[in-house]
A and B are shown apart, each in its own frame.
Chain A
């Protein structure tokens, strides 16, 4: 078996290179492919035109003046009986070639300016000013004035057009060039003493290559159109030399008696422009666009049908519904393509209690939380299981049904308060319109309630805050506003998605104590998503530890923190500097080697096995969630009993360091290093 291993790796590599080529964005998009084919055909046909053209451009066939397509003249003839097909292709090479001059000058100059601007702030100031001026010029008028001065020298005109266009290219490239320039490896190269030019060429330019190609294709199309337009108004190549714009111009003179003449040249020009655009668009399509928070109507319709089907398929199994109780049963969430993100998650939240969903990033905590409100981003959906709330299955509810639940029954607080508030509206508007909507209050009553809510969340100068825009207040203040907004509909359940992660440590504590007192005062329950075990210890009654889309251990907070049964929980606790009290702080905090696996890489057996210190062959089969013996808790580990019996702990392994601390280093120095590790 072993000898075949390298061969397989090699063949997969080859295959991936092949799929990469065939899956190349240009060839993967039908429009991009068609555009490439057409443009290639045009270039070949125009370059070889002298050898295959059925007629010379000036051959006049007086027996067939203004004729439509015939066997002799496939695309018809013009008013002098000249063959349209021959004239289109006789002028194609020059048209395409001179448009390429615009591309070279425009994209070249634009890129150079972007590189220079990314390199130095001073250059950016000057170039940005100059390009701003260039962009606010009436380009066509300037080009015509240039023609007045230099005559209809097409290559020169197209070059000057490129100069005018370069300002727009610079605008497109600047942001990207700057972000490339600010990459750490560019800084490193700078420290290494590489000169700015070499940095630009070696590190920044390659990153711009896709944009350069995309812009080239788009500018090529612009060049074609403008060149044809100039020829149309009489500033084309000197007569009788044919040009596309000139041919359309003479066709337009005969639109009364020979409308057909408009078709061939127009179609060839339009298809060529279309092809260049299609290539640019296919290459420029962002591969991973961020998911929309409000799926399009088409997706919402699809979801509604799915929801109806799910509701019909799975009758609710909950016995008498308990008001304010949330029961999640076997919940699965997945990408529309089929990749699961969350599988078979179950938990209950009793009224007035706080459940913590804990785990590293990428474990499906946020997806689980958002599914409770039906607010999964577009492209992600509940694929199975039930979310029971007041006897209703929210997993199968339509968006319309959810609108009655959101805000009034279940409310949301997000991780980044600044981004959670609408930057275009005042705090007051956002708060009062939510109150009016959710509580059917009048304008004045809503304002009074808004002030009341702001005071309740600990804001002292509420009237002033109402008038501010979100960018005018601090992060902690914004989170208080966001909490007030969440409370505006008097919800029974609050879904809090890492509400303190983005805040300063002191503000974190304030927000947590605010949440704790709100739970006590209002009797609402909370689903708290966090990766911070300190937050769990502080506020949660129940905990569900999630790993790779599964609940691996759940139970009361005390029993989970004091008597964890799953190796992942053990590891999280061992790795948390706050969970270890000061006196028994280990010399080196434990780490969990590796990373949370990507959903597509989840094994069929225990998903934590690859990173687990205790994993064995028994871990290769699917593991059920079973009673753990620690309180009411349940655990998903075949070795849980064994581990509990032997009282094993997650041990801090030596971090593999490249330069190990030499033995003769004094103890004091060693301590410094440890402190640094913990920081």
Chain B
């Protein structure tokens, strides 16, 4: 097990490094030098060249990379080319927004997905078909479309929830929850559908295992076979599915943040990409990767812990 964890940690580190290199190269392929981006249109070429010199843009690529990596490893992603803010501070403020969104959507989709999937597998018949059709529809509906419809229904028509905006938790926990409600539900719709499918398939596979027959042969009550033994067997692929879903939702929050005007990482990516703010793009890509890889690692270890074969070894 220790061996396994070490290997996974090294893999995670490698993933982040690969992304760091990728982000660095991508950003250097962006049109326009940082000086030009920072000073905007109408700046003289001399001023641009001078700023580029100060920013180290003319140093060899490797030198620039290791300088950036060294700073990044210490948590310093530099300053925005647009408004000069510290990128690290900016991202630190934004991370909780996206984390709340992604975590909330993951939990919500896991709960609904597992309930739907288990119900479909266990009840069978017409209910299974109805759930299957419903889930199929949810998978096909784009999150941004659902989000707009939710805004129309719950914010415009009935104003149950605020249509846009984000209230930090320490300002008002209640408003925080209300401001998260619509974006979280919007993101969770597709996630729940995905997890429902995964759960249904895993449950059906579990029920095909021969040990289920042994349990029935020893008069194990049906509820216990389903919810203790089969669900336990199915839990491995379900948790793996939830881990994948978190990755998707973390990225998907770009859309929810845009739609609901949430000041999260997704919004930062979108604006920094539109404005060619190179260091900001680099920072947010690395931070997003670190978060996703870390959560993925934790969930993967959880999956392995659920498996007696791996736990024992």
Contacts and interface: CB of A to CB of B under 8 A. Distances in A.
Do chains A and B stick together as partners?
A: yes
B11 A296 contact: no
With most chain A CB atoms within 10 A of its CB, the pick from B121, B151, B204, B308 is B308
A437 B228 CA distance: 15
Interface in B94-144: 121-128, 136-137, 139-144
B229 interface: yes
Given A233-B258, A438-B219, A293 B123 contact: no
A294 B230 contact: yes
A266 B293 contact: no
Nearest to A482: B214
A139 B247 contact: yes
B273 A145 contact: yes
A326 to B, nearest CB: 16
With most chain A CB atoms within 10 A of its CB, the pick from B136, B156, B212, B254 is B254
A339 interface: no
Contact of B247 (A136, A233, A424): A136
B247 A297 contact: no
Given A234-B270, A274-B136, A416-B210, A138 B18 contact: no
Given A135-B244, A141-B269, A375-B216, A293 B207 contact: yes
Contact of B14 (A133, A149, A270, A399): A133
Interface string A415-454: 0100111111100000001100110000000000000000
Interface stretch (A245-253, A315-323, A583-591): A245-253
A409 to B, nearest CB: 10
B238 interface: no
Contact of B208 (A136, A290, A407, A488): A290
Given A412-B214, A420-B213, A251 B229 contact: no
A256 B155 CA distance: 10
Given A136-B296, A274-B140, A255 B152 contact: yes
A482 B213 CA distance: 12
Contacts of B312: 469, 472
B77 interface: no
B144 A245 contact: yes
Interface in A587-644: none
B82 to A, nearest CB: 13
Contact of A262 (B19, B148, B270): B148
Contacts of A289: 204, 208
Interface string A369-407: 000010100000000000000000000000100011011
Contact of A297 (B125, B211, B218, B285): B125
B210 A419 contact: yes
Contacts of A251: 148
Contacts of B22: 142, 145
B31 interface: yes
A278 B132 CA distance: 11
Nearest to A265: B145
A153 B219 CA distance: 63
Interface in A335-369: none
A465 to B, nearest CB: 14
A635 B86 CA distance: 93
B61 interface: no
Given A414-B210, A424-B229, A229 B217 contact: no
B29 A419 contact: no
B309 A469 contact: yes
A206 interface: no
A486 interface: yes
Given A259-B152, A292-B208, A411-B218, A298 B128 contact: yes
Contacts of B136: 31, 274, 277-278, 281
Contacts of B272: 148
A668 to B, nearest CB: 47
A221 B279 CA distance: 34
Given A135-B244, A422-B229, A424-B229, A414 B214 contact: yes
B162 interface: no
Contacts of B18: 133
Contacts of B214: 412, 414, 420-422, 482, 485
Contacts, number: 251
* Contact-size category for A: 35 or more
A655 B10 CA distance: 61
A277 B289 contact: no
Nearest to A414: B210
Interface residues of B, number: 88
Contacts of A232: 142, 144, 255, 258
Contact of A420 (B26, B208, B210, B269): B210
B304 interface: no
B208 A270 contact: no
B293 A273 contact: no
Given A145-B285, A233-B270, A469-B312, A295 B124 contact: yes
B210 A277 contact: no
A147 interface: yes
Given A132-B11, A277-B139, A422 B211 contact: yes
A229 B144 contact: yes
A35 to B, nearest CB: 10
B121 A471 contact: no
A278 B232 CA distance: 30
Contacts of A582: none
B255 to A, nearest CB: 5
Interface in B29-43: 29-31
Interface in A263-279: 266, 269-271, 273-274, 277-278
A298 B137 CA distance: 23
A151 B219 contact: no
Contacts of B285: 138, 141-142, 145
Contacts of B11: 129, 132-133
Interface string A102-146: 000000000000000000000000000100110111111110111
A203 interface: no
B292 A136 contact: yes
With most chain A CB atoms within 10 A of its CB, the pick from B141, B151, B221, B251 is B251
B184 interface: no
A375 B218 CA distance: 11
A138 B232 CA distance: 29
A223 interface: no
Contacts of B252: 140
B11 to A, nearest CB: 7
Interface string A77-101: 0000000000000000000000000
Nearest to B124: A296
Interface in A172-219: none
**Those 4 A-B pairs whose CB atoms lie nearest each other, nearest first:** A296-B124, A298-B125, A140-B251, A412-B217
Interface of B: 11-12, 14-15, 18-19, 22-23, 26-27, 29-31, 121-128, 136-137, 139-145, 148-149, 151-152, 156, 204, 207-222, 225-226, 229-230, 232-233, 244, 247-248, 250-252, 254-255, 258-259, 265-266, 269-270, 272-274, 276, 281, 284-285, 288-289, 291-293, 296, 308-309, 312
Given A135-B244, A148-B272, A270-B145, 19 more contacts: A133-B18, A136-B296, A137-B247, A138-B288, A139-B247, A145-B22, A145-B281, A148-B26, A249-B144, A255-B148, A255-B156, A256-B156, A262-B149, A278-B136, A289-B208, A296-B121, A296-B128, A399-B222, A421-B214
28 contacts: A137-B15, A137-B247, A138-B292, A139-B251, A140-B252, A144-B269, A145-B273, A145-B281, A146-B26, A148-B27, A148-B281, A229-B255, A235-B273, A245-B144, A273-B142, A281-B136, A292-B204, A293-B209, A295-B124, A297-B125, A299-B125, A403-B221, A411-B218, A420-B213, A422-B215, A433-B220, A482-B214, A486-B218
Interface of A: 31, 129, 132-133, 135-142, 144-151, 221, 225, 228-229, 232-235, 245, 248-249, 251-252, 255-256, 259, 262, 266, 269-271, 273-274, 277-278, 281, 289-299, 373, 375, 399, 403-404, 406-408, 411-412, 414, 416, 419-425, 433-434, 437-438, 469, 471-472, 482, 485-486, 488-489
